Structure 1
Amino acid sequence: MKITCVGAGPAGLYFAISAKLRDAGHDITVIERDPPGATYGWGVVYWDNLLDPLYANDAESAQQIRSASTLWQEQQIVLGGSDVGFLGGYGFSVNRSTLLDVLAERATDLGVNIRYEHGVDDLSELADSDLIIGSDGANSKVRSLHEAEFGTRVETGNNPYIWLGTDMVFDRFTFAFEQTSAGWIWFHAYPSSAGISTCIVECTEQTWKALGFDSRDNEDTVRLLEKIFAAPLDGHSLISQSRGQPARWQRFTQVLNRTWLHDNVMLLGDAAHTTHFTIGSGTRLAIMDAVILAQKLHDHEHLDTALRDFDQQGRAALRPLQAAGRTSMAWFERADRYLDRNAADVAYAMAARHGYQPPWQYRVHQASQVSAVRKGLRWYDNGQRWYLACRRGEALGSRADKATTR
């Protein structure tokens, strides 16, 4: 089968890998408008629920991704630079550019042809393809060519946010809220690579305008944010430049489609659906799309049957995740309603933002604010993490398996 993927993000590259692993006879080309290594953002977060399918599908690339990743343990919520609350759990983060490098190299090794710096403005130039994959992100050109057929609906969030880096190394996933004369502003931060962390700054539209971010240039914006977050950043710098481009304020774009399939064109990843960054599922969903579609093509004799099956199953599974993303986005758009509490109670409100919590859960949360209890929970998490790693055949003992927490 001749397959063309438009977009060399996680969805397109991992689909190419997965399809080649199942049938090396597929003729697969991935087309990317940007040059190699030109990607936005800093790091992406993920959990064991991504590592499990990665290792099951392709242990070769999975081990490379895991080795390049950083482990973080616990989440902390910091109010005003000093009041700290805690949430449990652990996760991983990897630089987006590193992730794409690993996937591109693996796809090339398997015989996938990747063509960089080649835009697609008209699908007629791909007419000889049996299957066209639109994996070109939330602002998909492929999708825009047939929006009516896909039934595309795009909704925009209210809060402005900007994706930055910092030379402050966080060992926990950190939410830091600071009150200004114009209102609350906060960041979500987590380690990305050696010596660098990702730092996503967010606030309401009203606060954003009152602080003058709608008219400040990039340098002035970064300097003011460093001043506002001087305490949680411990005097460290914010970094705007990523791959030569300064960061810019944006608003979350939620993409919904009535169908992901039109003729022989299938949408994958953010081109088909987006979920708010506060639930950290975008990369995992893109990769799971890729694996499931590749398996459907392998299982079904007829292409149209495989595509319809994937479209129906994928959209049904995605609905609750997009609902969770909308709920999380709405909580942060109204976060100032909760920020008159202490940090531990803000942490609980954040953890409970997706729905009902039994009364006893708050008592458990209060206990988890005690250092000795958190230490025990970390030991439990470490045991669970090592058990899951052994079960999936992950190589242990590398730098990526170690993390420190205070």
Structure 2
Amino acid sequence: MKRVVVVGGGPSGLYFAYLWKSRHPADTVTVFEQNAEGATFGFGVVFSARAMDFLRAEDAETADLITARMETWSDITLVHRGERVALDGVAFSAIGRLELLLLLQERARGVGVNMRFNTTLRSVEDIPECDLIVAADGVNSLIRRTFEGDFQTTLSYLDEKFVWFGTTKHFETLTQTFVETEFGTFNAHHYRYSPAMSTFIVECDRASWLKAGFDRLGADDAKTRCEQIFAETLDGHSLVANKSNWRNFPWLWSNRWSHGNMVLIGDALHTAHYSIGSGTRLAMEDSLALAMALEAYPDDIRDACLHYEAQRRPIVEKLARAARESAAWYANVPEHMRLSPLDLAYSYITRSGRIDDDRLRAMSPGFMARYGDARPRSAAE
């Protein structure tokens, strides 16, 4: 019988706890989460059309429960210079982060996971004696920070600024809206995650952020300024704040995934820029891969963790490269906005280097037909 402690009650920690306890009911599994039950920060999380495939192959019941609560659409829309460009066939789905957490909490509790909410672990000495510690406590992971050298962690930050809001405005698709203002250039990622709510992420380069005075504005005034910048997009709706502070995106990577009886998953291990919509998917995939590795080496946690890293690392590295390419594209939004709407859309959809023209013609025939017809007239201005 194993004693397993999971530090962090986000999607990766909850899903691993549920998986392990459901498959090994004799083991004790305890989740420590610093926030109250039913509390979360942020709004919706997005998944690509194929993001549930990994889950459905191993855990169809959970995949079906999540999918039933999702908002789904088949296109992406870009708005530039007031023109809307549809990228057909680029399907995504979204679910409220809180709804996802409540579902996973219910799954974990139903199989007997011990849930310890409102519990802040101030040092690793606060963790009870156990056979395995799964660090699922995000970018500020206590476990990883305590043993940063052993995990060979690097951390850096993008220069661009972003802030995460919600809104009651209903959007038909995941949309990227680009606007030019007296302060500079801004873009918003927005998509519905329930019939009544949408996520609304505002992003800009540092020069625009400073010129707009966001370094001096309080939270309420900053929200109001964002509403003014995207007034046409919001169409009379307000932004909703929930710990909505301007941030720089953290690039985090741990070159060693385990140390002693401790192993990292999700954002405690690596981050992926939100523009590729894979953060939650990657975190839950980590949970599944770790569970499978532990089952492959039931008598040796060290070998199991090494197997987890060996099997999972090439997949994560590939997505991490794509995320960096995507983030680099966003770093040059002021330059990209000099392009025509169609050229901007083409630049956007090919930004990660994973989609060439042949794949794009097969995936988005409507867009490529329109792009091909207009191409001779769409040179950068």
TM-score by length of 2: 0.91
SS of equivalent residue, structure 1 residue 50? coil
Residue 56 of structure 1: how far off its partner (Å):
3.1
The change in CA–CA distance for 1:56 and 1:24 in structure 2 (over 3 A counts) is farther
Change in 2 beyond 3 A, CA 1:114/1:363: closer
Paired residue secondary structure (2:107) = helix
1:267 equivalent in structure 2: 264
Aligned partners of 1:136 and 1:356: how far apart in 2?
30
Alpha-carbon distance between aligned partners in 2 of 1:363 and 1:327, rounded to the nearest angstrom: 21
Aligned to 1:340: 338
Q: Which residue of 2 aligns with 1:187?
A: 188
Deviation at 1:199, TM superposition (A): 0.4
Q: Does 1:85 align with 2:82?
A: no
- Number of equivalences: 367
The verdict on how the C-alpha distance between 1:154 and 1:370 changes in structure 2, with shifts beyond 3 A counting, is same
Q: Runs (4+) of structure 1 moved beyond 6 Å?
A: 360-366
Aligned-partner Cα distance in 2 for 1:352–1:59: 32
Asked if the contact 1:133/1:268 (under 8 Å) is kept, the reply is yes
Corresponding residue for residue 287 of structure 1: 284
Identity across aligned pairs (percent)? 34
Does the 8 Å contact 1:84/1:344 carry over to 2?
no
Task: Determine which of 304, 308, 311 is the counterpart of 1:310.
Answer: 308
Query: Residue 323 of structure 1: which of 321, 324, 345 is its match?
Result: 321
- Aligned Cα root-mean-square deviation (Å): 2.0
Displacement, 1:366? 8.2
1:248 matches 2:245: yes
Distance change in 2, residues 1:356/1:130 (3 Å): closer
Show structure 1 runs of 5+ residues with no match. Answer: 372-406
Amino acid at match of 2:249: F
CA distance in 2, matches of 1:293, 1:361: 32
How far residue 58 of structure 1 moved from its aligned partner, in angstroms, is 2.9
Contact in 1 for aligned 2:349/2:355 (Cα 8 Å):
no
Q: Amino acid of the residue matched to residue 285 of structure 1? A: L
359 and 194 in structure 1: CA distance in 2 versus 1, 3 angstrom threshold? closer
Q: 1:239 to 1:369 in 2, by over 3 A?
A: farther
Q: Which amino acid aligns with 1:83?
A: E
Q: Which residue of 2 aligns with 1:9?
A: 10
Structure 1 residue matching 2:52: 3-state secondary structure: helix
Q: Secondary structure at the match of 1:250?
A: coil
TM-score (norm: length of structure 1)? 0.86
The change in CA–CA distance for 1:34 and 1:363 in structure 2 (over 3 A counts) is closer
Query: Is 2:288 aligned against 1:298?
Result: no
Q: Give yes or no for contact 1:85–1:345 (8 Å, CA) kept in 2.
A: no
Seen in structure 2, the aligned counterparts of structure 1 residues 4 and 76 have a Cα distance that, compared at 3 Å, is same
For 1:307 and 1:108, the matched residues in 2 are separated by: 25
Match of 1:277 among 274, 278, 302: 274
Corresponding residue SS for 2:42: coil
The answer to whether residue 198 in structure 2 is matched with residue 197 in structure 1 is yes
Structure 1 partner of 2:367: 368
Unaligned ranges ≥5, structure 2: 371-381
Using a 3 Å threshold, how does the CA distance of structure 1 residues 18 and 77 change in structure 2: closer, same or farther?
same
